[in-house]
């Protein structure tokens, strides 16, 4: 009888390496490792080699950066999905994509089990499990760290040594880092004390206000139907553009945040985030929207953004309501063509100019100069009618 197969979301790190061995030893499973390249800057060949050495029978390495930006990050910009004001959802957006890759490979390999390295107290387990359930209800999901007795890093290292798992001899990283092209999430270690300022070595992508460039820099960011297409007039692919904004924003210390956040599982945690490109893109898109969208659409978009963000954070990416909301936000993008002029300086990203062929800004209505085309007399009648209900109430009160 052939061995049962498990498809594992593999990162190349200690947790998922140990998991490969665990499946082989405990269940005699055949392990197929899947590494999704989301821009983590790790050497794909080395990762492949390590997974095979650890015992995987096969390794898939997939460069999913374009798909991630096009189908996950860009819709999040359109929806203005920012969790609790500061988190641009870099990890949350990646999990449904990784889940989809795992399901596709599991189907192609006729594997009946999918595994991931999440622990039992985070959000990521929910995002993986729920996405996989929504895409392939017949597949069994196993997260060994939720079941297994080995739960400290020291124990894992001991297990790895005992079972000849190649350990990278790198400086012990005291933090838990989740990093991709849309941003970095950093927690654990000293960060677990919310009163302690994050040490300098926490930050991976951005300069501090002290070390950021002294001189401000102007950047013109252009959108075509909602899609960012040019920096300072130069046409770039979305991947190139995001890489360039990460570099520029990083140099000017943009997109950092230090927050205490509400996890779905009921725990508050402290996390440091860095997302220079995501921050700049969200900010510039919002500035364009202010110029182009009518008031009712903009205000209602803001109401739905809150719901959308919660759904993404809470793992409901593959759900009918999330899809319908995507269609709602996408509709407005047809108008979203224009250029936003930004000034980046010492951690600040400021808007200093905007233009759009679809602008609803009307100079002759807005101006206080002679060119003023607004009939001020209309203002008087408008105020009378707008305030009428309040006037009636006040009259009633004074008569009593």
CA distances from 199 to 174, 264, 283, 394 (A): 11, 27, 27, 58
Our CB check for ligand ARG shows the closer of 189 and 216 to be 189
Q: Is 92 in the site for ligand ARG (CB under 6 A)?
A: yes
Find the binder of ligand ARG among 7, 20, 91, 181 (CB under 6 A): 91
Contact 305, 80 (CB under 8 A): yes
The helix/strand/coil state of 212 is coil
CA–CA gap between residue 311 and residue 162 (Å, rounded): 42
Residues near ligand ARG (CB under 6 A), total:
10
CA–CA gap between residue 146 and residue 142 (Å, rounded): 8
Our CB check for ligand ARG shows the closer of 173 and 381 to be 173
Q: Binding to ligand ARG (CB under 6 A): which residues in 296-335? A: none
Within 8 A by CB and 6+ apart from 88, the residues are 76, 81, 82, 182, 183, 255, 273, 275, 278, 279, 282
- Burial level of 220, CB count in 10 A (0-12/13-18/19+)? middle
Per-residue contact track with ligand ARG, 256 to 285, x per CB under 6 A? Answer: ---------------x--------------
Report CA Rg, the chain.
25
Per-residue contact track with ligand ARG, 136 to 155, x per CB under 6 A? Answer: --------------------
Closest approach, Cβ 186 to ligand ARG, in A, equals 5
Region near ligand ARG per CB under 6 A, out of 41-49, 112-120, 183-191, 387-395 = 183-191
Q: Which of 59, 337, 309, 346 is nearest to 225 (CA)?
A: 337
193 is catalytic: no
Q: Is 76 in the site for ligand ARG (CB under 6 A)?
A: no
381 is catalytic: no
Our CB check for ligand ARG shows the closer of 91 and 136 to be 91
Our CB check for ligand ARG shows the closer of 24 and 126 to be 126
**Which residues bind to ligand ARG, rule: CB under 6 A?**
91-92, 123, 176-178, 185-187, 271
Active site residues: 15, 95, 124, 176
């Amino acid at each position: 009888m052939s061995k049962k197969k498990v498809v594992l979301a593999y990162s190349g790190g200690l947790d998922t390496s140990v998991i490969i061995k665990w499946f082989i030893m405990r269940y005699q499973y055949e392990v197929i490792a899947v590494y999704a390249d989301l821009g983590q800057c790790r050497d794909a060949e080395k990762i492949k080699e390590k997974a095979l050495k650890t015992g995987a029978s096969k390794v898939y390495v997939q460069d999913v950066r374009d798909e991630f930006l096009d189908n996950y990050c860009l819709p999040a910009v359109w929806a203005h999905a920012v969790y609790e004001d500061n988190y641009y959802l870099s990890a949350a957006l990646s999990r449904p994509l990784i889940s989809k890759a795992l399901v596709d490979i599991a189907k192609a390999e006729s594997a009946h089990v999918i595994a991931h390295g999440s622990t039992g107290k985070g959000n990521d387990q929910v995002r993986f499990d729920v996405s996989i359930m929504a895409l392939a209800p017949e597949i069994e999901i196993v997260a060994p760290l939720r079941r297994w007795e080995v739960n400290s890093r020291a124990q894992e290292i001991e297990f790895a040594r005992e079972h000849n798992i190649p350990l990278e001899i790198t400086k012990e990283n005291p933090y838990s880092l989740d990093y991709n092209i849309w941003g970095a999430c950093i927690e654990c270690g000293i960060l677990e004390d919310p009163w302690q300022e994050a040490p300098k070595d926490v930050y991976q992508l951005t300069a501090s206000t002290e070390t950021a460039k002294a001189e401000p820099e102007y950047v013109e960011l252009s959108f075509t139907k909602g899609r960012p297409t040019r920096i300072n007039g130069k046409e770039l692919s979305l991947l190139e553009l995001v890489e360039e904004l990460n570099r520029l924003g990083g140099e000017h210390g943009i997109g950092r945040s230090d927050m205490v956040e509400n996890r779905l599982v009921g725990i508050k945690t402290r996390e440091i985030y860095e997302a220079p490109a995501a921050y700049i893109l969200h900010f510039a898109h919002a500035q364009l929207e202010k110029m182009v969208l009518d008031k009712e659409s903009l205000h209602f978009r803001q109401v739905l953004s809150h719901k959308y963000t919660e759904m993404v954070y809470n793992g409901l990416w593959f759900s009918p309501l999330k899809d319908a909301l995507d269609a709602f936000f996408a509709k407005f993008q047809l108008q979203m063509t224009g250029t936003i002029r930004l000034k980046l300086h010492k951690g600040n990203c400021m808007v200093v100019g905007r233009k759009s062929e679809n602008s609803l800004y009307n100079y002759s209505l807005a101006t206080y100069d002679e060119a003023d085309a607004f009939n001020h007399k209309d203002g008087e009648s408008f105020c009378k009618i707008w305030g009428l209900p309040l006037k009636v109430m006040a009259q009633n009160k004074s008569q009593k």
